[in-house]
Copies of this chain bind each other. A is one copy, B any other.
Amino acid sequence: MPESKTIAEAALATGLTTHTLRYYEQIGLIDPVPRRGGQRVYGEAEMRFIHFVLKLRCTGMSMRDIQEYVRLRRLGETPESIRERGDLLARHATKLRAQLVDLTETIARLDEKIALYRSIYPDEPLPSPAEPPVAVAPAATPSNRRKHA
């Protein structure tokens, strides 16, 4: 039994609710999950794909685009499907790259402003200086908890 999960376990593992998992399946954001005795069984492949979808979601890909991607995936490994999927992801990657630029700029500007404020009333040792651009462990990203991400 290679790590099969019930819907409740899958919910726990993804940080979603059972409601939301069924909802996602219903609107085609994820493929129909195989059933055993009518109940959904989430295998490793399913879990991996759900995590991928959540990654896309939380980087701002729209439901629509993800639905399209899933639709293409269901068409199988035809040249068209593969190429279109690649294009879809490439378009998203392009958007993300632009976002990255914007984000980097904004952080720099914020850091300036913050430094300004701090220089006026430097009370506590500055917790977020301008130098190290990245300092967060990439591990803990439980993504969507309930109540508006």
Among A93, A94, A141: residue with most chain B CB under 10 A: A93
Question: How many chain A residues have a CB neighbour from B under 8 Å?
Answer: 44
Which residue of chain B lies nearest to A140 when distances are taken between CB atoms in the complex? B98
Q: Are B121 and A82 in contact (CB under 8 A)?
A: yes
Copies of this chain in the oligomer: 2
Q: Indicate if A100 sits at the interface (CB-CB under 8 A).
A: yes
Query: Which secondary structure dominates chain A's binding surface?
Result: helix
Q: Indicate if A55 sits at the interface (CB-CB under 8 A).
A: yes
Q: Indicate if A125 sits at the interface (CB-CB under 8 A).
A: no
Q: Are A136 and B101 in contact (CB under 8 A)?
A: yes
Report Cα–Cα, A73/B40, bound state, in Å: 53
Q: Are A102 and B138 in contact (CB under 8 A)?
A: yes
Give residues in A with beta carbon < 8 Å to B. 55-56, 58-59, 79, 82-83, 85-86, 89-90, 92-94, 96-107, 109-111, 113-114, 117-118, 120-121, 123, 127-128, 133-136, 138, 141
